[in-house]
Amino acid sequence: MTDSAPATYAPSAEFIANAHADAATYEKMYAASIEDPAGFWAEHGKRIDWIKPFTQVKNTSFEFGNVNIRWFEDGTLNVAANCIDRHLATRGDQTAIIWEPDSPEEEAKHITYKQLHTSVCRMANILEELGVRKGDRVVIYLPMIPEAAYAMLACARIGAIHSIVFAGFSPDALAARINGCDAKLIITADEAPRGGRKTPLKSNADAALLHCKDTVKCLVVKRTGGQTTWIDGRDFDYNEMALEASDVCAPAEMNAEDPLFILYTSGSTGQPKGVVHTSGGYLVYAAMTHQYTFDYHDGDIYWCTADVGWVTGHSYIVYGPLANGATTLMFEGVPTYPDAGRFWAVCEKHKVNQFYTAPTAIRALMGQGTEFVEKYDLSSLKLLGTVGEPINPEAWNWYNDVVGKGRCPIVDTWWQTETGGHMLTPLPGAHATKPGSAQKPFFGVHPVVLDAQTGEEIHATEAEGVLCLKDSWPGQMRTVWGDHERFEKTYFSDYKGYYFAGDGCRRDADGDYWITGRVDDVINVSGHRMGTAEVESALVAHPKVAEAAVVGYPHDVKGQGIYCYVTLMNGVEPSEELRKELRTWVRTEIGPIASPDLIQWAPGLPKTRSGKIMRRILRKIAEDDFGSLGDTSTLAEPAVVDDLIANRMNKA
């Protein structure tokens, strides 16, 4: 990124003419949303069906000690009915979900809204049969198969709260999440095929359940037919039960503020937090952003490549698109299997119109050459999107030129698990895009840039500092599951009166926002958020490790890689085998996504006299930028730094 004016890419006149919002519409709607949020959302809250319409729109406070977020609080609705039932009369035979399996040899499925209704009702009845009631928690640990969407919507239908755990997570991580929300049931599958390999989900669940209450039941979906062990009375066969289950299930009447789901996410300290989203505001926001950001029109085929284990999969594979009556594509596989052309093969096969993926995938595919893209007919594409981390202009340009052939606006969407939906993004018919900038606030979003030190709002258009939000929006998380104090402390205590996102940003002379990355101890590996504290505690749990410090460093494909400084127990000799062992250890403790990239043996770590590890210094060494270590005068033992520099793993 430079300060010189970057190139901009304006949408075509044709795109603008068809778009839900052109520049003037955006300006008008945005101004209205900020001047009168309650009036604006009263109108747009009507985009979903209410059982009992709301009369109160906004009741929110960001005051530390008294944080309260409620939207549409006296309205009632059912989220699943909004995503399915209300479309039956007009689009019952339209495809709701296209499912593309891991292997291109296996047949894709087209699931209509009618079929979705039947499957979700059956699953809902199975949940009830297993004792799940309104307000109970259900953990979903499934591959990217249609049953994952059925399970989410079945929970929503009966008012149960789902908590999805990414199928790449280990048994330990799964157990912590089952126990964290005291789930009654876990829904899993025998195995998860991905990239030609299989993850033994059921046996992971078995291992996790050893650490959970023995009343937790396990519903098992057959995916591969692979062998699983079975405990009668605890394990239940979904496919068998579905044959018997009724396909009639009345949707429960839920309050707008009843929780819809919990999703655990990494923070800068300690245990992952259970982010709580509720029903009404979340759905309004997910649906509206899906329509405007992607400029979705009836009949379009829309594909978001995320996993339902991440918030992107919740808002932009399932809830947003289905609330809009869209056709949403769900992909079980990975971008590079059977080869690096798979994304484009799927786009051609299903005539995808909007394609939404992560910068890390773009960078990985960019490295494989253009021939994998050029083989396919991508003329159906109208719009491209990215999410998860800052996109470097080189990857943006490749996406624009090679994939989009210069015809497709790119929406770089900045948002978080906590925000429920897009916060900053160009609207494709309204804004000329800039490679690397998330650009403009969505309707109702009031971003501010604060001076990190003083906490003062910087009013000048050009500004650099921390990104905060001045007021609530309907998709905002409501609390941390079981720990409202932690919610307030994490997001509202550093800068009083604001929601603090944890990201740094720059605002340019045009008022466009550029995200500069996390300002806390959270790293972003291939678009996956990870607290360095989580990796550290996994490492120190190993019997040979005395101490560990983990930081991110720039990585060509992953965005950030995981750099670990490890101090071994007295008498333990470092070796390549031990490095391997520690890598495997962390993978087992957390999951493959947390696998350390570089492990440096550190006889000592740079600490202040009060014993605080100085991560700033470790970060600089990991970045191979030790010329600018800054002030090291407060170090207890300055000599350890020289040793770390001499033995750094990331020499240019």
Task: Provide the minimum distance between the beta carbon of 464 and ligand 6R9 in the complex, in angstroms, as a whole number.
Answer: 15
| DSSP-assigned letter for residue 318 | I
Q: Which residues of 606-640 are buried (b: 16+ CB within 10 A; e: fewer)?
A: bbeeeeebbbebbbbbbbeeeeebeeeeebeeeeb
State yes or no: 540 annotated in a binding site. yes
Task: Provide the minimum distance between the beta carbon of 164 and ligand 6R9 in the complex, in angstroms, as a whole number.
Answer: 13
Task: Compare residues 113 and 481 and give the one whose CB is closer to ligand 6R9.
Answer: 481
In the three-class reduction of DSSP (H, G, I as helix; E, B as strand; rest coil), residue 250 is classed as: coil
State yes or no: 412 annotated in a binding site. yes
Q: Indicate the residue whose CB is closest to ligand 6R9.
A: 417
State yes or no: 195 annotated in a binding site. yes
My answer on whether omega of the bond before 447 falls inside 30° of 0, hence cis, is no
Task: Compare residues 127 and 262 and give the one whose CB is closer to ligand 6R9.
Answer: 262
Task: Provide the minimum distance between the beta carbon of 503 and ligand 6R9 in the complex, in angstroms, as a whole number.
Answer: 5
Task: Compare residues 188 and 265 and give the one whose CB is closer to ligand 6R9.
Answer: 265
Distance (Å) of CA 584 to CA 66, 110, 539, 546: 44, 39, 11, 18
| DSSP-assigned letter for residue 85 | I
State yes or no: 388 annotated in a binding site. yes
Q: What sign results for the dihedral spanned by CA atoms 526, 527, 530, 532?
A: positive
Task: Compare residues 593 and 635 and give the one whose CB is closer to ligand 6R9.
Answer: 593
State yes or no: 566 annotated in a binding site. no
Task: Provide the minimum distance between the beta carbon of 513 and ligand 6R9 in the complex, in angstroms, as a whole number.
Answer: 9
In the three-class reduction of DSSP (H, G, I as helix; E, B as strand; rest coil), residue 356 is classed as: strand
In the three-class reduction of DSSP (H, G, I as helix; E, B as strand; rest coil), residue 86 is classed as: helix
State yes or no: 446 annotated in a binding site. no
Measured in whole angstroms, the distance separating CA 569 from the mean position of its chain's CA atoms is 37
State yes or no: 363 annotated in a binding site. no
In the three-class reduction of DSSP (H, G, I as helix; E, B as strand; rest coil), residue 508 is classed as: coil
Contact between 491 and 483 (Cβ < 8 Å) = no
The tokens for 651 are 């020499």
Task: Provide the minimum distance between the beta carbon of 558 and ligand 6R9 in the complex, in angstroms, as a whole number.
Answer: 13
Task: Provide the minimum distance between the beta carbon of 522 and ligand 6R9 in the complex, in angstroms, as a whole number.
Answer: 7
Closest CA to 138 of 146, 204, 126, 475: 126
Distance (Å) of CA 625 to CA 420, 599, 621, 650, 651: 36, 18, 6, 10, 10
State yes or no: 229 annotated in a binding site. no
State yes or no: 415 annotated in a binding site. yes
Task: Compare residues 281 and 390 and give the one whose CB is closer to ligand 6R9.
Answer: 390
Task: Provide the minimum distance between the beta carbon of 196 and ligand 6R9 in the complex, in angstroms, as a whole number.
Answer: 26
Task: Provide the minimum distance between the beta carbon of 477 and ligand 6R9 in the complex, in angstroms, as a whole number.
Answer: 10
Task: Provide the minimum distance between the beta carbon of 652 and ligand 6R9 in the complex, in angstroms, as a whole number.
Answer: 25
- Give the DSSP H/E element, type plus range, for residue 467: strand 463-469
State yes or no: 575 annotated in a binding site. no
The tokens for 188 are 């899993």
Task: Compare residues 479 and 524 and give the one whose CB is closer to ligand 6R9.
Answer: 524
Measured in whole angstroms, the distance separating CA 643 from the mean position of its chain's CA atoms is 38
Contact between 339 and 371 (Cβ < 8 Å) = no
Task: Provide the minimum distance between the beta carbon of 528 and ligand 6R9 in the complex, in angstroms, as a whole number.
Answer: 7
Distance (Å) of CA 193 to CA 201, 222, 275, 337, 556: 10, 12, 28, 11, 27
Residues making contact with ligand 6R9 (CB under 6 A): 265, 310-312, 387-390, 412-417, 438, 501-503, 515, 518, 524, 529
State yes or no: 542 annotated in a binding site. yes
Task: Compare residues 342 and 529 and give the one whose CB is closer to ligand 6R9.
Answer: 529
Phi first, then psi: give them for residue 457, nearest 5 degrees. Answer: -70, 135
Task: Compare residues 341 and 502 and give the one whose CB is closer to ligand 6R9.
Answer: 502
What is the strand order of the sheet 499-507 is part of? 447-450, 463-469, 499-507, 513-518
Task: Provide the minimum distance between the beta carbon of 395 and ligand 6R9 in the complex, in angstroms, as a whole number.
Answer: 12
State yes or no: 91 annotated in a binding site. no
Task: Provide the minimum distance between the beta carbon of 308 and ligand 6R9 in the complex, in angstroms, as a whole number.
Answer: 13
Task: Compare residues 356 and 585 and give the one whose CB is closer to ligand 6R9.
Answer: 356
Task: Compare residues 54 and 415 and give the one whose CB is closer to ligand 6R9.
Answer: 415
Angle between helices 280-293 and 37-44 (to 10 degrees): 80
Closest CA to 157 of 248, 249, 244: 249
Task: Compare residues 209 and 330 and give the one whose CB is closer to ligand 6R9.
Answer: 330
Dist CA 366 CA 130 (whole Å): 47
Task: Compare residues 189 and 515 and give the one whose CB is closer to ligand 6R9.
Answer: 515
DSSP secondary structure string for all residues of 269-294: SSSPEEEEEESHHHHHHHHHHHHHHT
Binding residues for ATP: 388-390, 412-417, 503, 518, 529
Binding residues: 194-197, 312, 388-390, 412-417, 503, 518, 526, 529, 540, 542, 545, 587
Binding residues for Mg(2+): 540, 542, 545
